[in-house]
Structure 1
Amino acid sequence: MTRTSSVVILGGGPGGYEAALVAAHLGASVTVVDRDGIGGAAVLTDCVPSKTLIATADYLGDMGTASELGVHLEDHEGDVATRTVAELGAINERVLNLAAAQSADIQTRLTEVGVRVVAGAGRMESPSRVVVETDAGSETLDADVVLVSTGATPRVLDSATPDGERILTWQQIYALPEIPEKLIVVGSGVTGAELAQAYLGLGTDVTLVSSRDLVLPQEDQDAAAVIEDVFRRRGMTILNRSRMAGAQRRGDGVVVTLEDGREVEGSHVLIAVGAVPQTSGLGLEDVGVDVSESGHVVVDRVSRTSVRGVYAAGDCTGVFALASVAAMQGRTAMAHALGDAVAPLRMSAVSANVFTDPEIATVGVSAADAEDNTDIEAVMMPLSRNPRAKMLDIREGFVKLFAYRGTGIVVGGVIVAPRASELIFPVTLAVQNRLSVDQVASTFTVYPSLSGTVAEAARRLHPLRPE
């Protein structure tokens, strides 16, 4: 590719805008076609809004437990304040304003590096031509490289059609004017669990409908057990091994009917049962791009599709529904397409986080993988023994590390703790760079610190010499 290569990107989410920044840096002429707003769902309706809402609930929870540390609020007459109140209208206004500001910041950065942003919907007419429908009409864009990064949208069930008022998807909850009196959350995966706890923290009576034995069935089971225990102790009702048959409005509320005939009544219901890729209407099949039965674009480890010059990134590929993975796919795609140095995506080094309280952060192999591989050993240490955790009144959580026997190479880890998303980084560095437990253990940590338990876990995995 030459420095005058033209790149057209369909979708302005993390995969799209990160790809645009790389392509512009490499000298390409870049156009991003986006219909919903730069930043995509990750910034406007999913990651940024939901984590802002969760952070607000966490803050409210911290205020509620401060008395255990000997701290309380008083009014101006010296009376102890016994109740904090969440104003959802003000909270949601801040959430949406923050998301809009982040979107604007990203668009400003794109403009600064010369990326053209077109508001509209694009469709591939050929592997090197995209037709864009805008409010002003249609426009045809020729391209040397096309990146499809159109994301995914909440799965909608015919038996529980969202109305934006009482039956909601996770993209619609920020229009609620008041705290729901009784919220039923259907789906105990990451999105369902995070938002269930957020609303519980804001003062809502929450019932979580989970089809599995534990919430968060795809996560480390020790970690999921901690989270479910926390949920129950804080007052959440959890219906394990229960499946929704349907949801409908009844009077001023809703009723969720379970497959066994039980009915659960509430004021609102949040449907969080997965997402579907937004790949229809893009002309992909017409130009020969392979799409799976689930509707995901099929890609390899450098984000190539089955058609030369056409790449794809993000949730529309089904590789791993994380903004960080989408961004890495987009950057990798442009580096490969424009002739820069590139390393194939390593899924074994992807770190992920569940933003419950405490959080669950993971990287590398799982406990299930370790159980099936006798060459891997594990150690798990509770955070309750950590001096910094005691100071912060952290009572739940642990650090778990996985390493190869003999060599001690770190291959994975799980951290359950407040801000586990920050604590997992040294473990991710170890996995990415194939560091040994001895290298991790011999690295200085601050005393006292939660990260000290990561080093201690590594010390406990020190390979023993054969007798």
Structure 2
Amino acid sequence: MGSATRIAIVGGGPAGYESALVAAQLGAQVTVFDRDGVGGACVLTDCVPSKTLIATSDRVTAFRDAPRVGVGASGLGRAEAAVDLAVVNERIKDLARQQSEDIAARLAHEGVTVVAGAARFAERQPPRAHLLEVLDASGAVVDTAQADVVLLATGGTPRVLPTATPDGERILSWRDVYELKELPEHLVVVGSGVTGAEFASGYSELGVPVTLVSSRDRVLPGEDPDAAAVIEHVFTSRGGTLVKQARAAGVRRVGDGVSVDLVDGRTVSGSHALMCVGSAPNVTGLGLEHAGVELDEAGYLKVDRVSRTSVPSVYAAGDCTGVLLLASVAGMQGRIAIWHALGEAVAPLRLKTVAANVFTHPEIATVGVGYQAVASGAAPARQVTLPLGTNPRAKMQGLREGFVKLYCRPATGAVIGGVVVAPGASELVYPLALAVQRGLTVNDLASTIGVYPALSGSVSEAARRLMSHDDLD
């Protein structure tokens, strides 16, 4: 395909805007159809706002823990911070809008056309092209557009239980919390996956009494169990309550609060309930049947490793594909789709090299092979775990909870995975991600001279612990 290739992108989130920038730079004619605002839910209601809230809670944590290093608000007693949630939430929304405006400006600078409105495949499709209908906020068709290639990047939306429908006041989705003017008196978080754990941790650090309801026997069932144990310990030590093996049947408004009814007959009461029970892909109303685009068994857009759907000229990227619900993965899926569609050299998506982070307190960052694969023997590995408290910089900063865990191949010493549990783990995991991506060995990490003292020193120390004579060149 040449420079006149018409590319239509449905959705302006990370998958959409990242792919639009690549397509424009490669000379395509690019149109993004965006219903909710450039940046999508990731920027406007989900990832950016939640991490901004958590960044605020980090400040409260630092203030509260200052007496550990001899600093107090008055004397050397317990430091207390006052949180004005109305101001916090207004700042969060302002930052989200600014980020959206920055992305829109970048798209305009690169020559990308952004159309405000949803888009769907028209009932009748032309030969060797795609016809899209453009819809306004009311759902009325206001225009049409033709494209040679279509990328669907429609994202996802919070999953709703019929018995716990958010009302925006007491029963909340994670997109409702930024309208609160005051801190909840007692927040019940339903769901202990990444989103639930992050909000439970964030509000707990802000000083809110939080009860976390988990359907499993631990929080973060998809993460390293040692890492999850640290999060549980920190959460409960801050006064949080864990209710495990407790599946929610529904949530009721009771007076000025809520009652979370559990399947086993128990109830959990609070002032507010925050529902974090997963997300659902935005795949309805796209006219997929008119283009012949198929869904997989779980209801996501079915794609291969270069983001193609069942129709060769229709691609999909991001949360609507269910591949791995991370903004970084969405962006890479979108870029891969465009490179492939425009005939550029492209490597298929490699999920084993993706770094992920849980923004709890402390954070959990992971990359490569994880606990389950090593414990089951599916991925033979040597491993070492270093407590963060042994790191000199951590001691200086008064940090106590966390660790660095490193996995390498038994014979070659090649780094195949790692876990970092620490404040700022999202930054510390980068050398491990680079090692996994590039096939570096523990000898490579250990022989790299870093800064002393630094938290990253635990990474090189873990590598030194794993070195053996077989690892050396």
With the length of structure 2 as denominator, give the TM-score of the two structures: 0.96
Q: 2:277 matched to 1:280?
A: no
- Contact 2:67-2:76 within 8 A present in 1 as well: no
> Match of 1:446?
451
Match of 1:198 among 202, 221, 234: 202
2 CA distance for matches of 1:298 and 1:286? 16
- Contact 1:151-1:314 within 8 A present in 2 as well: yes
1 CA distance for matches of 2:181 and 2:113? 37
> Match of 2:430?
425
> Match of 2:132?
130
Deviations 1:149-173 (A, max 9, x none): 0000000001111101000000111
2 CA distance for matches of 1:241 and 1:91? 33
| Cα drift, residue 259 of structure 1 | 1.1
Match of 1:256 among 233, 255, 260: 260
> Match of 1:412?
417
| Cα drift, residue 222 of structure 1 | 0.5
| Cα drift, residue 264 of structure 1 | 1.2
| Partner SS, residue 132 of structure 1 | strand
Aligned-residue Cα RMSD (Å) equals: 1.5
- Contact 1:16-1:32 within 8 A present in 2 as well: yes
- Contact 2:156-2:319 within 8 A present in 1 as well: yes
Which amino acid is the alignment partner of residue 238 of structure 1?
A: L
Which amino acid is the alignment partner of residue 94 of structure 1?
A: R
- Contact 1:332-1:342 within 8 A present in 2 as well: yes
Task: Label 1:92 to 1:110 Cα distance change in 2 as closer, same or farther (>3 A).
Answer: same
Q: 2:385 matched to 1:380?
A: yes
> Match of 1:347?
351
Deviations 1:367-403 (A, max 9, x none): 1101223631211111111100100111011111111
> Match of 2:374?
370
| Partner SS, residue 18 of structure 1 | helix
| Cα drift, residue 137 of structure 1 | 5.0
Deviations 1:88-110 (A, max 9, x none): 10000000000000000000000
| Cα drift, residue 73 of structure 1 | 2.3
- Contact 1:289-1:306 within 8 A present in 2 as well: yes
What are the within-5 Å matches in structure 2 for residues 123-272 of structure 1? 123-125=120-122, 126=125, 128-134=130-136, 138-272=142-276
1 CA distance for matches of 2:259 and 2:241? 16
Further displaced range: 455-464 or 180-189 = 455-464
- Contact 1:405-1:463 within 8 A present in 2 as well: no
Deviations 1:163-197 (A, max 9, x none): 01000000111011110001100000010010011
| Cα drift, residue 65 of structure 1 | 1.0
What are the within-5 Å matches in structure 2 for residues 43-122 of structure 1? 43-74=43-74, 82-122=79-119
| Cα drift, residue 82 of structure 1 | 4.7
What percent of counterpart residues are identical?
A: 59
Which amino acid is the alignment partner of residue 111 of structure 1?
A: A
- Contact 2:131-2:146 within 8 A present in 1 as well: yes
Task: Label 1:128 to 1:109 Cα distance change in 2 as closer, same or farther (>3 A).
Answer: same
| Partner SS, residue 163 of structure 2 | coil
Task: Label 1:432 to 1:465 Cα distance change in 2 as closer, same or farther (>3 A).
Answer: closer
Further displaced range: 368-377 or 191-200 = 368-377
- Contact 1:386-1:453 within 8 A present in 2 as well: yes
| Cα drift, residue 133 of structure 1 | 1.1
Q: 2:14 matched to 1:14?
A: yes
> Match of 1:436?
441
2 CA distance for matches of 1:285 and 1:355? 39
- Contact 1:406-1:464 within 8 A present in 2 as well: no
> Match of 1:293?
297
- Contact 1:302-1:344 within 8 A present in 2 as well: yes
- Contact 2:66-2:79 within 8 A present in 1 as well: no
| Cα drift, residue 72 of structure 1 | 1.8
| Cα drift, residue 285 of structure 1 | 2.7
Further displaced range: 453-462 or 142-151 = 453-462
- Give structure 2 stretches of 5+ with no counterpart: none
Which amino acid is the alignment partner of residue 129 of structure 1?
A: L
**Displaced runs of 4 or more, over 3 A:** 78-82, 463-466
Task: Label 1:81 to 1:416 Cα distance change in 2 as closer, same or farther (>3 A).
Answer: closer
> Match of 1:23?
23
| Cα drift, residue 79 of structure 1 | 11
2 CA distance for matches of 1:79 and 1:376? 47
Which amino acid is the alignment partner of residue 32 of structure 1?
A: V
| Partner SS, residue 308 of structure 1 | coil
- Contact 2:412-2:470 within 8 A present in 1 as well: no
Task: Label 1:350 to 1:79 Cα distance change in 2 as closer, same or farther (>3 A).
Answer: closer
Which amino acid is the alignment partner of residue 277 of structure 2?
A: V
2 CA distance for matches of 1:436 and 1:465? 11
Further displaced range: 444-453 or 9-18 = 444-453
Which amino acid is the alignment partner of residue 337 of structure 1?
A: A
2 CA distance for matches of 1:448 and 1:68? 19
- Contact 2:363-2:424 within 8 A present in 1 as well: yes
> Match of 2:321?
317
| Cα drift, residue 341 of structure 1 | 2.0
Further displaced range: 12-21 or 403-412 = 403-412
Task: Label 1:83 to 1:372 Cα distance change in 2 as closer, same or farther (>3 A).
Answer: closer
2 CA distance for matches of 1:380 and 1:82? 33
- Contact 1:360-1:415 within 8 A present in 2 as well: yes
> Match of 1:5?
5
1 CA distance for matches of 2:64 and 2:11? 42
- Contact 1:185-1:208 within 8 A present in 2 as well: yes
| Partner SS, residue 191 of structure 1 | helix
Deviations 1:251-275 (A, max 9, x none): 1111111111111111100000000
2 CA distance for matches of 1:316 and 1:92? 28
| Partner SS, residue 65 of structure 2 | helix
- Contact 1:215-1:224 within 8 A present in 2 as well: yes
| Partner SS, residue 385 of structure 2 | strand
Deviations 1:19-61 (A, max 9, x none): 0000000000100001111111110111100000001011011
> Match of 2:467?
462
2 CA distance for matches of 1:108 and 1:415? 36
